[in-house]
Amino acid sequence: MFTLIFGNIFIFSTLSAQASLDFIIACIISGLSVTVGDLLYYMALKRIDVSRAYPIIQLNLVFIYPFAFFLFGEIITPAIVIGAIFILSSVFLLSMNDTPKSKRDNSEFQKKETERLTQGVIISIIAAFLWALSAISFNQARIISGEVFSTNFFRILFSVITFSIWGMFNREYYGAFKKANRKNMKYFVFIGIAGMLSLGFADTLYYKAVEINGLVLTTTFTVNTPMVQQILSVVILKEKLRKKFILAVTLIIIGNYIILFF
């Protein structure tokens, strides 16, 4: 709907054959990488809580900086680097294990917990790389098309087609529609609405900001989201409020101040 109102659904009529091919490839890469990245993120949530997994995902900034510099010629100023270091420091602070050590550190339970934490962190880092790849390829597609709304529409469309084909051969794909699982359908509706608002509308706004301010600066500011996420995790998911949260917020504020005013 947003694409029909604000975008150009007939974008291919304005592109050459080569540009159309490059656009499609970039959209496919972006759509698949963000979807696989999302799946890995949900896998990480089975091992670590969201207040730890989501901050680690913000490491996509580390991957985006060099790509933005070499591929798009964006300028990375010292203020942006220093500000990003402060913000990423808060990310690491939020993702650290704050459980105090005890004499039971060598127990079998503690070993399993450590293993789960390690797996969750590794999976989250891989997801962060895929999210960065998605951002880079989307930005390339946006440059080719010169338009954000239609680019995001085709990115999501190609991803939906690919995973729908894969789902046809996966029995779990149909499991949600069985009579026994109909009670859970409302949750899938909620997830669908959330996906529409995030992957659809919010991502479009993000890349619209990229079009104006560049990939480096815009992505750096989005690393602030763990601060909001921490609050929502406590209020909605009933996760505990980490003592390091106040310090992390302070680092985020300092990082943003340096980026904006230096």
Give the DSSP per-residue string, 77-125: -HHHHHHHHHHHHHHHHHHS--PPP-GGGGSHHHHHHHHHHHHHHHHHH
**Computed from CA positions of residues 194, 202, 127, 130, in that sequence, does the dihedral angle turn out positive or negative?**
positive
Distance CA 194, CA 260 (A): 31
Q: Report residue 133's pLDDT band, with 50, 70 and 90 as the boundaries.
A: very high
pTM of the model: 0.77
How many secondary structure helices (H) and strands (E) does the chain include? 13, 0
Please tell me the predicted confidence (pLDDT) of residue 57.
78
Going by C-alpha positions, the residue among 34, 25, 21 that lies closest to residue 134 is: 34
Convert the pLDDT of each residue in 154-174 to its tens digit.
Answer: 888 888 888 888 777 777 766
Res 105: pLDDT: 53
- Is pLDDT of 72 > 70? yes
* Residues 210-248 pLDDT 10s: 888 888 888 887 877 767 777 777 788 777 776 777 777
pLDDT at 100: 54
CA dihedral (92, 98, 102, 107) in degrees, to 10, reads -70
Angle made by CA atoms 36, 67, 202, in degrees to the nearest 5: 50
Average pLDDT, the chain: 81
